[in-house]
Chain A
Amino acid sequence: IQMTQSPSSVSASVGDKVTITCRASQDITSSLAWFQQKPGKAPKSLIFAASSLETGVPSRFSGSGSGTDFTLTISSLQPEDFATFFCQQYDSFPFTFGPGTRVDMK
């Protein structure tokens, strides 16, 4: 299953709403997770099952979608949110990740 993400990068300011799209090449129902990664650090789980927020993740993060089209939304970007975001499908092996979306400061 191929995963694509758009945009590949986005420049935004603190307080902006940011939306990242992830598309699967076939139906993965809701078997999708989102991760945040900062340079030199391990990825951090944000969302699983397409829309369930991981414990401790701020509520400004939200996920939606099912089937092939998914969205990660940051409602009001905070300074600590500048990072790269990856989606991952776990519907079937081999698990696959999207190529990533970098969110940087405008």
Chain B
Amino acid sequence: EVQLVESGGGLVQPRTSLRLSCATYGFNFDDYAMTWVRQAPGKGLEWVSSISGNGGNSGSTHYADSVKGRFTISRDDVKKKLFLQMNRLRAEDTAVYFCAKSPGYSSTYFDSWGQGTLVTVSS
């Protein structure tokens, strides 16, 4: 059974950093593209960043304009973990952050999701 478990969220001050992790179970992690999606309180879903899996442009990354230059997505295929390094955090980054898996090595839609981790940016 596929499981995605996010961690690393919390309350942080503006302009500081935070690193989110997503531990994965039940599938061959390095073969699949992975993505971070966020949801501000009471709002809709916002795609944040994706990283491809093995095959094709392995490890290629993409970012939303709202986080480009501040956030970095990465993966550790040995530990089967996905990461999101978030720097220079802003109040508008406050959201639940979900990690999600695509059904193949290229980023497409998301067939499995974690339960999310809450990031609150406030002074």
With contact pairs A97-B44, A97-B46 given, residues A90 and B62 touching in the complex (Cβ less than 8 Å) = no
Which residues of chain A in 67-86 are interfacial with respect to chain B, using CB atoms and an 8 Å cutoff? Answer: 86
B37 surroundings in chain A (CB, below 8 A): 43
Residue A6 at the chain B interface, CB threshold 8 Å: no
Distance A47 CA – B114 CA, assembled complex (angstroms): 18
Residue B109 at the chain A interface, CB threshold 8 Å: yes
Assess the A88–B111 pair: CB atoms within 8 A: no
Distance A33 CA – B45 CA, assembled complex (angstroms): 13
Chain A at the B interface: mostly helix, strand, loop or mixed?
A: loop
Cβ contact of B98, chosen from A43, A95, A96, A99, cutoff 8 A: A43
Residue B115 at the chain A interface, CB threshold 8 Å: yes
Assess the A42–B113 pair: CB atoms within 8 A: yes
With contact pairs A42-B98, A44-B113, A95-B50 given, residues A90 and B45 touching in the complex (Cβ less than 8 Å) = no
Assess the B98–A54 pair: CB atoms within 8 A: no
A94 surroundings in chain B (CB, below 8 A): 47, 62-65
Assess the A97–B45 pair: CB atoms within 8 A: yes
Distance A93 CA – B108 CA, assembled complex (angstroms): 10
Residue B116 at the chain A interface, CB threshold 8 Å: yes
Which residues of chain A in 1-57 are interfacial with respect to chain B, using CB atoms and an 8 Å cutoff? Answer: 31, 33, 35, 37, 41-45, 48, 54
A interface vs B, CB < 8 Å? 31, 33, 35, 37, 41-45, 48, 54, 86, 88, 90, 93-100
B interface vs A, CB < 8 Å? 35, 37, 44-47, 50, 62-65, 98, 103, 107-116
